[in-house]
Amino acid sequence: MTLQSTPLPFAAALAHARDLAQAQIEAALAERTGPVAEAMLYACSGGKGLRGFLVIESARLHGIAPGMAAPAAGAIEALHAYSLVHDDLPCMDDDDLRRGQPTVHRKWDEATAVLAGDALQTLAFELLGQLACPAEARLTLMTSLAQAAGVGGMVGGQALDIAAETAPAPLSLAEITALQAGKTGALIEWSAMAGPRMAGADATALGAYAKHLGLAFQIADDILDVEGDAETVGKAVGKDDAAGKATFVSHLGLAGAKTRAAELVDMACDALSEYGSEAQSLRAAAAFVIARDS
Protein backbone atom coordinates (compact mmCIF):
# COMPACT_ATOMS: atom_id res chain seq x y z
CA MET A 1 0.00 0.00 0.00
CA THR A 2 1.48 3.36 -1.05
CA LEU A 3 0.32 6.23 1.12
CA GLN A 4 -0.07 9.63 -0.45
CA SER A 5 1.06 11.69 2.55
CA THR A 6 1.49 11.79 6.31
CA PRO A 7 -1.88 12.17 8.03
CA LEU A 8 -2.77 15.58 9.40
CA PRO A 9 -4.08 15.96 12.96
CA PHE A 10 -7.82 15.33 12.96
CA ALA A 11 -9.05 18.92 13.32
CA ALA A 12 -6.78 20.10 10.52
CA ALA A 13 -7.68 17.15 8.31
CA LEU A 14 -11.40 17.74 8.85
CA ALA A 15 -11.10 21.45 8.00
CA HIS A 16 -8.94 20.74 4.94
CA ALA A 17 -11.39 18.16 3.60
CA ARG A 18 -14.32 20.49 4.23
CA ASP A 19 -12.58 23.26 2.29
CA LEU A 20 -11.77 20.92 -0.60
CA ALA A 21 -15.37 19.70 -0.85
CA GLN A 22 -16.79 23.22 -0.60
CA ALA A 23 -14.43 24.47 -3.29
CA GLN A 24 -15.69 21.78 -5.67
CA ILE A 25 -19.30 22.79 -5.07
CA GLU A 26 -18.58 26.50 -5.40
CA ALA A 27 -16.64 25.97 -8.64
CA ALA A 28 -19.47 23.93 -10.11
CA LEU A 29 -21.98 26.67 -9.26
CA ALA A 30 -19.77 29.64 -10.10
CA GLU A 31 -21.59 30.49 -13.31
CA ARG A 32 -25.07 29.51 -12.16
CA THR A 33 -27.24 32.32 -10.90
CA GLY A 34 -30.69 32.75 -9.39
CA PRO A 35 -32.37 31.73 -6.15
CA VAL A 36 -31.97 27.98 -6.65
CA ALA A 37 -28.19 28.26 -7.08
CA GLU A 38 -28.02 30.62 -4.11
CA ALA A 39 -30.02 28.19 -1.99
CA MET A 40 -27.74 25.32 -3.04
CA LEU A 41 -24.64 27.17 -1.82
CA TYR A 42 -26.42 28.18 1.37
CA ALA A 43 -27.43 24.59 2.07
CA CYS A 44 -23.82 23.41 1.73
CA SER A 45 -22.34 25.96 4.13
CA GLY A 46 -21.66 25.61 7.82
CA GLY A 47 -21.49 21.84 8.16
CA LYS A 48 -18.79 19.71 9.74
CA GLY A 49 -17.84 18.06 6.45
CA LEU A 50 -17.44 14.62 8.05
CA ARG A 51 -18.50 12.66 4.98
CA GLY A 52 -16.11 14.55 2.72
CA PHE A 53 -13.37 13.97 5.28
CA LEU A 54 -14.01 10.22 5.17
CA VAL A 55 -13.65 10.32 1.37
CA ILE A 56 -10.37 12.24 1.51
CA GLU A 57 -8.85 10.13 4.29
CA SER A 58 -9.90 6.79 2.81
CA ALA A 59 -8.39 7.92 -0.50
CA ARG A 60 -5.14 9.01 1.16
CA LEU A 61 -4.81 5.57 2.74
CA HIS A 62 -4.84 4.12 -0.77
CA GLY A 63 -2.34 6.45 -2.41
CA ILE A 64 -4.78 9.00 -3.84
CA ALA A 65 -3.99 12.68 -3.28
CA PRO A 66 -6.63 14.88 -1.62
CA GLY A 67 -6.96 17.00 -4.75
CA MET A 68 -7.67 13.92 -6.84
CA ALA A 69 -10.36 12.75 -4.42
CA ALA A 70 -11.89 16.21 -3.96
CA PRO A 71 -14.70 15.77 -6.55
CA ALA A 72 -15.96 12.73 -4.62
CA ALA A 73 -15.80 14.68 -1.37
CA GLY A 74 -17.79 17.49 -2.98
CA ALA A 75 -20.26 14.96 -4.34
CA ILE A 76 -21.11 13.40 -0.99
CA GLU A 77 -21.39 16.78 0.73
CA ALA A 78 -23.75 18.00 -2.01
CA LEU A 79 -25.88 14.88 -1.73
CA HIS A 80 -25.93 15.08 2.06
CA ALA A 81 -27.00 18.74 1.85
CA TYR A 82 -29.86 17.75 -0.47
CA SER A 83 -31.05 15.21 2.08
CA LEU A 84 -31.06 17.84 4.84
CA VAL A 85 -32.94 20.40 2.73
CA HIS A 86 -35.69 17.90 2.00
CA ASP A 87 -35.65 16.45 5.53
CA ASP A 88 -36.38 19.93 6.93
CA LEU A 89 -39.46 20.53 4.74
CA PRO A 90 -42.93 20.81 6.33
CA CYS A 91 -43.95 17.50 4.75
CA MET A 92 -41.03 15.79 6.52
CA ASP A 93 -39.65 17.08 9.86
CA ASP A 94 -40.85 20.68 9.49
CA ASP A 95 -37.74 22.28 11.00
CA ASP A 96 -36.98 25.99 11.13
CA LEU A 97 -33.26 25.75 11.93
CA ARG A 98 -30.35 23.88 10.41
CA ARG A 99 -26.72 24.46 11.37
CA GLY A 100 -27.83 27.46 13.41
CA GLN A 101 -29.42 29.21 10.43
CA PRO A 102 -32.94 29.30 8.97
CA THR A 103 -33.69 26.22 6.90
CA VAL A 104 -33.79 26.70 3.13
CA HIS A 105 -37.58 26.67 2.89
CA ARG A 106 -37.75 29.33 5.63
CA LYS A 107 -35.13 31.58 4.04
CA TRP A 108 -36.64 31.19 0.56
CA ASP A 109 -39.79 29.10 0.11
CA GLU A 110 -40.80 25.46 -0.19
CA ALA A 111 -40.59 25.33 -3.98
CA THR A 112 -37.05 26.72 -3.97
CA ALA A 113 -36.06 24.24 -1.28
CA VAL A 114 -37.40 21.30 -3.28
CA LEU A 115 -35.62 22.45 -6.43
CA ALA A 116 -32.37 23.22 -4.61
CA GLY A 117 -32.41 19.74 -3.10
CA ASP A 118 -33.12 18.16 -6.48
CA ALA A 119 -30.26 20.10 -8.06
CA LEU A 120 -27.82 19.23 -5.27
CA GLN A 121 -28.58 15.56 -5.83
CA THR A 122 -27.82 15.79 -9.54
CA LEU A 123 -24.73 17.91 -8.81
CA ALA A 124 -23.33 15.02 -6.79
CA PHE A 125 -23.28 12.78 -9.85
CA GLU A 126 -21.94 15.59 -12.04
CA LEU A 127 -18.97 15.91 -9.65
CA LEU A 128 -18.37 12.16 -9.58
CA GLY A 129 -18.14 12.25 -13.36
CA GLN A 130 -15.14 14.58 -13.02
CA LEU A 131 -13.04 12.10 -11.03
CA ALA A 132 -9.70 11.30 -12.62
CA CYS A 133 -9.81 7.58 -11.97
CA PRO A 134 -10.48 4.53 -14.15
CA ALA A 135 -13.91 4.51 -15.77
CA GLU A 136 -14.83 1.29 -13.98
CA ALA A 137 -14.11 2.92 -10.62
CA ARG A 138 -16.20 5.97 -11.52
CA LEU A 139 -19.09 3.71 -12.49
CA THR A 140 -18.78 1.79 -9.23
CA LEU A 141 -18.83 5.03 -7.24
CA MET A 142 -21.86 6.37 -9.09
CA THR A 143 -23.82 3.12 -8.82
CA SER A 144 -22.99 2.61 -5.16
CA LEU A 145 -23.91 6.22 -4.31
CA ALA A 146 -27.26 5.85 -6.08
CA GLN A 147 -27.89 2.71 -4.03
CA ALA A 148 -26.77 4.33 -0.76
CA ALA A 149 -29.03 7.33 -1.36
CA GLY A 150 -32.03 5.43 -2.69
CA VAL A 151 -34.87 3.31 -1.39
CA GLY A 152 -32.44 0.67 -0.14
CA GLY A 153 -30.49 3.27 1.82
CA MET A 154 -31.08 6.86 2.93
CA VAL A 155 -34.49 7.41 1.30
CA GLY A 156 -35.72 4.04 2.53
CA GLY A 157 -34.58 4.85 6.04
CA GLN A 158 -36.37 8.20 5.93
CA ALA A 159 -39.54 6.48 4.73
CA LEU A 160 -39.37 4.06 7.66
CA ASP A 161 -38.82 6.99 10.02
CA ILE A 162 -41.92 8.78 8.72
CA ALA A 163 -44.01 5.60 8.90
CA ALA A 164 -42.93 5.09 12.51
CA GLU A 165 -44.63 8.34 13.51
CA THR A 166 -48.07 6.79 12.93
CA ALA A 167 -47.24 3.16 13.68
CA PRO A 168 -49.47 1.44 16.28
CA ALA A 169 -46.44 0.67 18.48
CA PRO A 170 -42.97 2.23 18.91
CA LEU A 171 -40.17 0.66 16.91
CA SER A 172 -38.03 -2.00 18.57
CA LEU A 173 -34.32 -1.48 19.08
CA ALA A 174 -33.59 -3.79 16.14
CA GLU A 175 -35.99 -1.84 13.93
CA ILE A 176 -34.42 1.50 14.88
CA THR A 177 -30.97 0.08 14.16
CA ALA A 178 -32.07 -1.08 10.70
CA LEU A 179 -33.78 2.25 10.00
CA GLN A 180 -30.71 4.28 10.91
CA ALA A 181 -28.39 2.00 8.94
CA GLY A 182 -30.20 3.36 5.90
CA LYS A 183 -31.09 6.90 6.89
CA THR A 184 -27.72 7.85 8.42
CA GLY A 185 -25.32 4.98 7.92
CA ALA A 186 -25.54 4.39 4.18
CA LEU A 187 -23.90 7.69 3.15
CA ILE A 188 -21.26 7.39 5.87
CA GLU A 189 -20.39 3.89 4.63
CA TRP A 190 -20.20 5.10 1.03
CA SER A 191 -17.86 7.91 2.08
CA ALA A 192 -15.41 5.66 3.90
CA MET A 193 -15.40 3.11 1.08
CA ALA A 194 -14.88 5.70 -1.67
CA GLY A 195 -11.08 5.69 -1.34
CA PRO A 196 -10.51 1.97 -1.86
CA ARG A 197 -13.13 1.94 -4.60
CA MET A 198 -11.26 4.71 -6.44
CA ALA A 199 -8.07 2.70 -6.08
CA GLY A 200 -9.66 -0.64 -6.99
CA ALA A 201 -8.73 -1.98 -3.55
CA ASP A 202 -10.54 -4.04 -0.93
CA ALA A 203 -13.03 -1.87 0.97
CA THR A 204 -13.98 -4.44 3.62
CA ALA A 205 -12.09 -2.91 6.56
CA LEU A 206 -13.28 0.62 5.89
CA GLY A 207 -16.81 -0.62 5.35
CA ALA A 208 -16.77 -2.26 8.80
CA TYR A 209 -15.30 0.89 10.32
CA ALA A 210 -18.02 3.04 8.78
CA LYS A 211 -20.84 0.69 9.78
CA HIS A 212 -19.92 1.09 13.44
CA LEU A 213 -19.19 4.80 13.01
CA GLY A 214 -22.56 5.50 11.42
CA LEU A 215 -24.49 3.84 14.22
CA ALA A 216 -22.42 5.65 16.86
CA PHE A 217 -23.14 8.92 15.05
CA GLN A 218 -26.89 8.37 15.21
CA ILE A 219 -26.82 7.35 18.87
CA ALA A 220 -24.90 10.57 19.57
CA ASP A 221 -27.63 12.49 17.72
CA ASP A 222 -30.27 10.89 19.93
CA ILE A 223 -28.26 11.85 23.00
CA LEU A 224 -27.92 15.44 21.76
CA ASP A 225 -31.70 15.60 21.30
CA VAL A 226 -31.94 14.97 25.06
CA GLU A 227 -28.91 16.80 26.44
CA GLY A 228 -28.11 19.45 23.83
CA ASP A 229 -29.38 23.00 23.56
CA ALA A 230 -30.75 24.36 20.32
CA GLU A 231 -28.28 27.24 20.05
CA THR A 232 -25.26 24.94 20.24
CA VAL A 233 -26.72 22.03 18.29
CA GLY A 234 -27.95 24.40 15.58
CA LYS A 235 -31.41 22.84 15.28
CA ALA A 236 -34.42 22.09 17.45
CA VAL A 237 -33.89 19.59 20.27
CA GLY A 238 -36.29 17.57 22.40
CA LYS A 239 -38.52 16.79 19.42
CA ASP A 240 -38.20 13.01 19.71
CA ASP A 241 -39.33 12.88 23.31
CA ALA A 242 -42.16 15.36 22.68
CA ALA A 243 -43.41 13.17 19.83
CA GLY A 244 -43.09 9.98 21.87
CA LYS A 245 -40.66 8.65 19.28
CA ALA A 246 -38.64 5.51 19.99
CA THR A 247 -34.90 6.22 19.95
CA PHE A 248 -31.71 4.60 21.17
CA VAL A 249 -32.05 6.67 24.35
CA SER A 250 -35.65 5.61 24.96
CA HIS A 251 -34.63 1.95 24.62
CA LEU A 252 -31.23 1.98 26.32
CA GLY A 253 -31.53 4.93 28.68
CA LEU A 254 -29.13 7.85 28.54
CA ALA A 255 -26.26 6.05 30.26
CA GLY A 256 -26.83 2.89 28.23
CA ALA A 257 -26.86 4.83 24.96
CA LYS A 258 -23.57 6.49 25.86
CA THR A 259 -22.04 3.13 26.72
CA ARG A 260 -23.23 1.60 23.44
CA ALA A 261 -21.87 4.53 21.43
CA ALA A 262 -18.47 4.16 23.11
CA GLU A 263 -18.46 0.42 22.35
CA LEU A 264 -19.19 1.14 18.69
CA VAL A 265 -16.31 3.62 18.55
CA ASP A 266 -13.98 0.95 19.89
CA MET A 267 -15.25 -1.50 17.27
CA ALA A 268 -14.77 1.09 14.52
CA CYS A 269 -11.18 1.71 15.60
CA ASP A 270 -10.44 -2.02 15.79
CA ALA A 271 -11.60 -2.39 12.17
CA LEU A 272 -8.73 -0.09 11.11
CA SER A 273 -5.96 -2.33 12.49
CA GLU A 274 -4.51 -3.15 9.07
CA TYR A 275 -3.77 0.54 8.46
CA GLY A 276 -1.76 1.01 11.66
CA SER A 277 -0.87 4.54 12.72
CA GLU A 278 -1.72 5.92 9.27
CA ALA A 279 -5.42 5.70 10.16
CA GLN A 280 -5.09 7.82 13.30
CA SER A 281 -7.23 10.63 11.89
CA LEU A 282 -10.01 8.14 11.19
CA ARG A 283 -9.78 6.87 14.76
CA ALA A 284 -9.99 10.45 15.99
CA ALA A 285 -13.07 10.93 13.80
CA ALA A 286 -14.75 8.00 15.54
CA ALA A 287 -14.08 9.57 18.94
CA PHE A 288 -15.30 12.92 17.63
CA VAL A 289 -18.73 11.69 16.56
CA ILE A 290 -19.72 10.85 20.14
CA ALA A 291 -17.96 13.81 21.78
CA ARG A 292 -19.43 16.54 19.54
CA ASP A 293 -21.95 19.07 20.79
CA SER A 294 -23.62 19.73 17.44
Q: pLDDT digit string (tens) for 132-154?
A: 999 999 999 999 999 999 999 99
Domain boundaries along the sequence of the chain: 10-291
Q: Please name the fold of domain 10-291.
A: Farnesyl Diphosphate Synthase (1.10.600)
Give the predicted TM-score (pTM) of the model: 0.94
Q: pLDDT digit string (tens) for 175-211?
A: 999 999 999 999 999 999 999 999 999 999 999 999 9
Report CA torsion sign: 254, 260, 261, 263.
Answer: positive
